[in-house]
Amino acid sequence: MSIRQQCGDAPGTVWFVGAGPGDPDLITIKGRDLIANAGAILFAGSLVSGTALRWAPDGCVIADSKEMTLEQMSAWLILQATEHRVVVRLQTGDPGLYGALIEVIQPLDVAGVPVRVVPGVSSAMASAAAAVESLTLPEVTQTVIFTRVEGRTPMPPGESLEELASHHTTICIFLSITLMGRVTRALLAAGWSADAPIVVVHKASWPDQEKIIRGTISTIQGLCRDQHVASQAMIIASPTLGARQWTSLIKSKLYDASFTHRFRRAVVAHAPLLSAKKSESV
C-alpha cells in the first residue's frame, strides 16, 4: 500500500521518521517515500545528514530543529499539520531511541493531530556493521544492552553503567564519548579486564566521515583523543569483539546439520560398520 493510500483523505498526519545513522541510503523505503510526499519537513540538522532531504519535493517547507525548544518543535508541527496532509519529523537513527519522541508527541495528541512513527536503523546496528562485529554469539552472550553514561540527564536507580556492565554482555553506549573516562572506570569496576577490547565508531555509515577506533579499556580514551573524536560516536564493549579472528567458535545450532527444525530434518551421522570378527563364546 502506498503512502498516499495509507494517508487517505485525512489531512495533517505527522510522521516521525528515523533517518538512520547517517548514510542517506540507509533510510527505509517508507521513510524516503514519506519525504517525497511531504508538504513540510522538520529535520534534526545537528545530527541528520542534509542529503536525506534530497527526495523532498519542490515547494516543501523545510525547517531545522537544532535551535528549537521542544515547545517550538511541537508548535511548528501542529501549524504545518493544519496546512499539509503529510508532515515529516526527520530524526537521527530510530525515533524510539534517545529521541524526544514522546515529549514532542504529547502536545500533538492534545491538539488532535494524527501521529505515526517509522522506525530507522540505529547507530548501534550501523556501528557493529561498520566494524564487522556481531553483537551476539552462541554461548558467549545473547544479550545486548543499550545505555548511556549519566551526565546532565541522571540514570534511573539500578541503571548505572557499572551495574549494567556487571552482566558482562554486549553494551552499546550512546551519547557518552565525552565521558569516556567514566565509561572505562565503570567497566573496570564491574570486573572487566583492562585489556578487554572496545570499539568506538564515529559517524557510522557517514560517507567519507566514518572512523572506526579499536582499542582496549586501558587505551581507548587516548586513541579517541588522538583521533579527535568527541561527538556522534558509538561505544561498544562486548565479549564478542574480535570473534572474526578467533580460531575456535561455537556454531549456531540453527544451521547445524544435526539440528531439526520445521524447514529441515536433521542429518544423522551413522557410525562406520565394523569388520572385526565376533569373539567366540567360551
Q: Which parts of 217-282 are beta strand (E)? A: 233-237
Average pLDDT, the chain: 89
Q: In the prediction, which pLDDT does 52 show?
A: 83
Q: Residue 44: is its pLDDT beyond 90?
A: no
Region 156-175: mean pLDDT is: 97
Report phi then psi at 6, rounded to 5: -65, -40
Strands of the 115-118 sheet, one edge to the other: 61-64, 40-43, 86-91, 13-18, 115-118
Q: Regarding predicted confidence, which is higher, 276 or 101?
A: 101
Please give the domain boundaries of the chain with CATH numbers for all domains. 3-121 (3.40.1010.10), 124-245 (3.30.950.10)
| Number of Cβ within a 10 Å radius of residue 281 | 4
d(CA 194, CA 116): 45
Q: How many CB atoms lie within 10 A of CB 273?
A: 5
Note whether 204 and 231 are within 8 A (CB): no
- Tally of CB atoms within 10 A around 108: 21
Candidate from 89-93, 158-162, 182-186, 251-255 with smallest mean pLDDT: 251-255
**pLDDT at position 273, please?**
54
| Cβ count within 10 A of residue 214 | 16
Handedness of CA 138, 119, 105, 65 (dihedral sign): positive
Full-model pTM: 0.85
3-state secondary structure 213-277: EEEECCCHHHHHHHCCCCCCEEEEECCCCCHHHCCCCCCCHHHCCCCCECCECCCCCCCCCCCCC
Distance CA 103, CA 164 (A): 26
251-277 pLDDT per residue, tens: 776 666 666 666 667 776 655 555 444
The cell numbers describing 33, all together, are 517515500
258 against 104, higher pLDDT? 104
Distance CA 138, CA 154 (A): 34
Cell numbers linked to 138: 552462541
Residue 9 has pLDDT above 70, yes or no: no
70-81 and 101-111 are packed helices; what angle lies between their axes, rounded to 10 degrees?
Answer: 40
Instruction: Provide the pLDDT for residue 2.
Output: 44
CB 93 within 8 A of CB 99: yes
In this prediction, residue 153 has a pLDDT band, given cuts at 50, 70 and 90, of confident
For residues 145 and 242, give the distance between their C-alpha atoms in angstroms, rounded to a whole number.
18
Cα–Cα nearest to 14, from 69, 100, 82: 82
Residues 233-251, mean pLDDT to the nearest whole number: 94
| pLDDT tens-place string over residues 212-224 | 999 999 999 999 9
Position 280 confidence tier, pLDDT thresholds 50, 70, 90: very low
pLDDT in tens, 124-146: 999 999 999 999 999 999 999 99
